[in-house]
Structure 1
Amino acid sequence: MPSFVDRPAQHYVGARATIAVTEFATIADQIPRIIGLLAQHGLAPAGAPFFRYLVIHPGMRFTAEACVPVEGEFTPEAPLITGVVPAGKYVLSTYVGHPDGLFGATKAVLDWGAAEGVRWDSTEAEDGEHWAGRLEVLNTNPLEQPDPTQWSTDLLFHVAE
């Protein structure tokens, strides 16, 4: 059952791409690169890596970022970027299972929100649905738990104030 949580703003270093669902690995593969870059500069991640979905485009395409949370100032070289996930109230649902099930888990949260009258912090535009904060937080390190059916992912959706 989803719940409401308050989250502080979260700074991150990320890589952004507009891709089809079938191309997701191109963005997901950036996380180890970003963690390695931070380590080269003596920085450790300030939390679990996550994916931030900025725009859900028609036709199963989306603009997303692979993100690693950081504290303090760090400016990476392009094409890496920095960003901030906004503070505020979020709906949280934790999914445990293979990443192939995330689409269904996300739909379940959005359907729950519609039934409960939750107003998401998102806007419709010609190019798709723009989100202020729509995250998949990767709670499981695949190097420590190689079985993807055991991976835990927090789904977080920013609520309109």
Structure 2
Amino acid sequence: MSGPAGEPTVEERGEQPYAYIRGSVRMDGFAAIADRLGELIGWLSGQGAGFAGAPFFRFNTVDMAGESEVEAGIPVVSLPEPEGDIRVGVLPPGRYATVRHLGHPDQMFDVITALREWAVREGLEWDMREEDGGVERWGCRLESYLTDPATEPDMGKWEIELSFRLAD
């Protein structure tokens, strides 16, 4: 892969409890779900929930032409009681293809394309199926934000990890 992205790897992951807020968004209106991460962080802090990793977006469906079902989530040490829009769940265990990107989130399309091309070359299959209209339904597709925007406001310096679950 070229550019600021690292080389993809495959890693085995165990299940991971998380709390989330789900929304249906168009890619050009992604802020509608992204802006809810702060609310989720505040709520979890108020519950005394221990964070177990970086905030992420989980893409349950991807529809580049329409609305995608996306969760703004945070891994937690143990599951709090859900409340209102805030739900809890467990990310599935399994093998994940991962790659890290250093740069603005707007540059992710090229990184995703390169990761998908790499998987084809490696003979890997995604835990994903295509539905009518070209909609992709993913078993687990994550975009984790490893950089805290409070300490690094320059989005061009953010580190983002993509983790796409592979088929068993």
Whether contact under 8 Å (2:19, 2:79) holds in the other structure is no
Per-residue CA distance 1:78-115 (angstroms, 9 max, x = gap) = 21211211111111100000111011111110111122
**TM, length-normalised to structure 1:** 0.95
Structural mapping, 1:96-135, within 5 Å: 96-126=102-132, 128-135=135-142
Aligned-pair Cα RMSD in Å: 1.3
CA shift for structure 1 position 73 = 2.8
Whether contact under 8 Å (1:50, 1:68) holds in the other structure is yes
Q: Distance in 1 between matches of 2:22 and 2:67?
A: 13
Q: Distance in 1 between matches of 2:74 and 2:99?
A: 20
Counterpart in the other structure of 1:42: 48
Q: Distance in 1 between matches of 2:104 and 2:64?
A: 25
Deviation >2 Å, runs of 4+: none
**TM, length-normalised to structure 2:** 0.91
Q: Distance in 2 between matches of 1:81 and 1:142?
A: 24
Counterpart in the other structure of 1:20: 26
Whether contact under 8 Å (2:16, 2:92) holds in the other structure is yes
Per-residue CA distance 1:50-102 (angstroms, 9 max, x = gap) = 11000112515311100011122312212121121111111110000011101
2:150 is aligned with 1:143: yes
Aligned partner (choices 149, 164, 168) of residue 157 of structure 1: 164
**Unmatched 5+ residue regions in structure 2?**
1-6
Partner of 2:84, secondary structure, is coil
% identity of equivalent residues: 35
Whether contact under 8 Å (2:59, 2:142) holds in the other structure is yes
Q: Distance in 2 between matches of 1:82 and 1:7?
A: 19
Query: 121-130 vs 80-89, which deviates more?
Result: 121-130
Count of aligned pairs between the two proteins: 161
**Unmatched 5+ residue regions in structure 1?**
none
Partner of 1:45, secondary structure, is coil
CA shift for structure 1 position 14 = 0.6
Which amino acid letter does the alignment assign opposite residue 19 of structure 2?
V
Q: Distance in 1 between matches of 2:108 and 2:81?
A: 31
